[in-house]
Chain A
C-alpha cells in the first residue's frame, strides 16, 4: 500500500502556521470594508522533505488560495510560512518583499493546471524552459541550451524540440514542458495545482507516472492540490481536506481513505463515482450546498449538512485535534463515529 513517509517526521521542509487570507468586501464610493471573504482561515500543516501532501476540497474551499499564499503569488493576511532553505536556515516567507523572495524562488516552484495558459506562446521551448535559468544567472546561451536539452530529456521530450513553439504540442506534452521549467532551478518544493485535471484521460496516467518518477529521482517534495480523490490517493503520502477555508482533516493517505474521521471527508469520498458498476457510489449522501466563505455558519462550518450534527456542533467551533497518531480532524464527534467509504472494505486489493 502506501509507501512510508520518507525521511520520517524529523525534517520538515515547510511549516504553515495559522495561515489566513481574507479578501475584503468593499461597498460604495468610499470603498468601505463591510465584511471579509475568509478564503483561508487559520490553516496549519507541515510538509516533510521528500513527501507528497495532497490538498483536496471542492471549488471555493481555499485550497488554491492556500497554495498561492505559500508560493507567495499573493500576500497572506496573517500567519507564518516557514521554509527550511537549502542553506539550512528557517525563513518566514510571509513578511518578505519581492526582492527578499527572489533568492528563494528557485527552491519553490509550481506546476500549473492549464497546459495552454502556463507557457508563453510567443517564446520557444528553449526560452520558456530556460527563462528561470536566465534570470537566475545562467547567462551563457550554450550552457543554457545544454541544460534545457537535459531537462527536456528528463521529462520525456526530445531535445530537438527546443526551437519549437508551444503551439506545436499537445496538452500532455505541454504539461511536460511546464514540469521541465519548474524543475530547471533544482527546486526542493514543487507546488502542483491540479496538474492533470485539464488533460485527456488517456494521457493523465503518463503525467502522473512522470511526477512519481521525478520525485524518486530528484528527491522532490510535492504539495499536490487537486479535487480528484483517486488521483490524490494515488500520489500522496498524506492528505489534507479543506472545507470553507479550513482544514477539516489531515492524515496519512491509507488511514484517511479507509477510516476517515470527519463526516465531510467520508461524504466526499462516497460522492466520487467509482468506475466500476458493481461498486455503488456517487450518491447524493450530502444535502445542501457549500456555504459561502463570506458568511460561514455558526459553530462547525459543516453542521448544516452533517447527518450527525448535535446541538454542540451548532454552537461551538470544533478545534483541529489529533484523533490518532498523525491523524487530525476538526470534529467534536471524531472519536465516536465510524465512517464508511468505498475504500473501507476493499482491503489491499
Chain B
C-alpha cells in the first residue's frame, strides 16, 4: 500500500525540500520595508568594518582656523557630465563679534573623486593603504562633507568612526546578553528546581531596579584612568548585564514549552543525549526567534550607549561615538550656528528604525510553521 502522492510540480518540490532558513527567508522577502532596512543596516556595517576607508580625512586632525565650516555638499555632475565636486568655502572674520563667518561659493569648485588617495591607514587593521571611498583629488585640500566642529575636525570622518563604535557596542552588548540570556535562561528552563528559582529571583531583582541609575552607578564606578578601549569594553559589559533579563525569561519560556513537545520526547525515547536534544532539537527551534528578538534589542543598546555618552558617563573623548558627537551639540549656540553637528542624531534615528523594522520582519518570518 503506497500513499498516493502524485509526482508534483517543480514549485512544490522546491517547497518540500526547503529548510527552515529558506522558508524564513521566503517570508522575510515579502516584507518590503524590512528588506529595505536590512540593506540600510548592511551599509552601516560596511562602515563599521572600515571607517577609515569611508573617511575623507583623519578624524582627529584639528585646525582652529577651520572651525565651524558649513556643509560642503557633494555634487556628482557638473556641466561636463560626471565630475564630482564640492563648493569651496571662504571665511571672513566678523569685525563686531570677531567670529569667523563662512560662505560657500559654488562658482569655485573643489574637485572631488571616488576611490582617491588620502591619509594613510590600515585596512581592517592589516593592510597599509591610502585608498579612500571619497575625497578631494588634491591631497592638500581639506573638504568638509558635513562641515567641521569647533576644533575644525571633519564631522563626516568623525561620524564614520562614531558609527563603528556605536554599532559595535550595540552588536557586542546584544551578543553578550544573548549568551547570558540563553545560558542562564536555558539552565532555568531545562533543569528547573533550585537553579530556576535563583535565576528567576535574580531577573526580577534586576528588572525592578530602574536602568538609568544602574548605568550611572556602574559607569561612575569605572576608574578614571582607564583607556578608552577599557571604558568601551566596560560599558558594553554593563549594558549587557542589565539587558539580558528579558531574553533570559524568553529563553526559559521556550525551553519550558519545548520540553513538552512530542518531537523532543521522541528524541529522548530514541536514546539521544541531553546535549543532543538541546543542541539539535531545542536551540534550532527557537534560534530564529532569538535572532529576531536580538535585532529588536540592538537599538535599545545603541540608544543606551548614546544616552550614557551624551551625559558624559559612557564613552569618553578621545574615543568617538554618536553620543560623544552629540555631546558637542549640547548648547544652543551650536544648534544655531552649526546645525550640522546634529547629524549623529539623525543616524541614531535611522539605525534604530532600521533595526526595529528588520526585527519586526524577522519576528513575523521566524516561525514559518505557524499557520
Contact = CB atoms under 8 A, between A and B. Distances in A.
B304 to A, nearest CB: 34
A86 interface: no
A157 B267 contact: no
Contact of A121 (B20, B268, B272): B20
Nearest to B272: A135
A110 B2 contact: no
Interface string B258-284: 000111011111111110100001001
Interface string A287-322: 000000000000000000000000000000000000
A131 B272 contact: yes
Interface in A80-139: 98, 102-103, 105-106, 108-110, 112-114, 117-122, 124, 128, 131-132, 135-136
B266 A110 contact: yes
B262 A163 contact: no
A158 B17 contact: no
A168 B23 CA distance: 12
Given A105-B270, A122-B20, A136-B271, A156 B1 contact: yes
Interface in B325-352: none
Contacts of A210: 1
B16 interface: yes
A121 B3 contact: no
B285 A73 contact: no
Chain B: number of interface residues, binned into ranges: 20 to 34
Contact of A164 (B16, B266, B268): B16
Nearest to A127: B280
A165 interface: yes
Given A117-B262, A163-B17, A165-B16, A122 B284 contact: yes
Contacts of A163: 17
A71 B5 contact: no
Interface string B279-293: 001001100000000
Nearest to B18: A165
B126 interface: no
A64 interface: no
B369 A105 contact: no
A172 B3 contact: yes
Contacts of A176: 3
Nearest to A187: B269
Interface in B223-278: 261-263, 265-274, 276
Given A120-B263, A167-B369, A131 B270 contact: yes
A209 B1 contact: yes
Contacts of B15: 167-168
A105 B271 contact: yes
A206 interface: yes
Given A112-B262, A118-B266, A173 B271 contact: no
B19 interface: yes
B285 A135 contact: no
A105 B23 CA distance: 34
Given A117-B262, A172-B3, A173-B5, A132 B16 contact: no
A178 B322 CA distance: 55
A185 interface: yes
A63 interface: no
A118 B262 CA distance: 5
A135 B274 CA distance: 11
Contacts of A172: 3
A327 interface: no
Interface in B12-41: 12, 15-20, 23
Nearest to A108: B269
Given A156-B3, A157-B3, A168 B270 contact: no
Contacts of A103: 271
A181 interface: yes
A73 B268 contact: yes
Nearest to B21: A122
A167 B263 CA distance: 14
Contacts of A108: 269
A45 to B, nearest CB: 21
Contacts of A131: 267, 270, 272
A102 B261 CA distance: 20
Contacts of B12: 168
B270 A73 contact: no
Given A117-B262, A121-B369, A71 B269 contact: yes
Counting chain B CB atoms within 10 Å of each CB, which of A109, A121, A178 scores highest?
Answer: A121
Contacts of B20: 121-122, 165
A186 to B, nearest CB: 13
Nearest to B268: A73
A329 B107 CA distance: 107
Nearest to A173: B3
B265 to A, nearest CB: 6
12 contacts: A73-B269, A112-B262, A112-B266, A118-B266, A120-B281, A120-B285, A122-B284, A132-B271, A135-B272, A156-B3, A167-B16, A210-B1
Interface of B: 1-3, 5, 12, 15-20, 23, 261-263, 265-274, 276, 281, 284-285, 368-369
For the complex of A and B, list the 10 residue pairs with the smallest distance between their C-beta atoms, beginning with the closest.
A168-B16, A132-B270, A105-B271, A118-B262, A164-B16, A120-B263, A117-B262, A122-B20, A112-B262, A135-B272
Given A102-B271, A131-B270, A161-B5, 6 more contacts: A106-B270, A112-B266, A119-B263, A122-B285, A135-B273, A161-B16
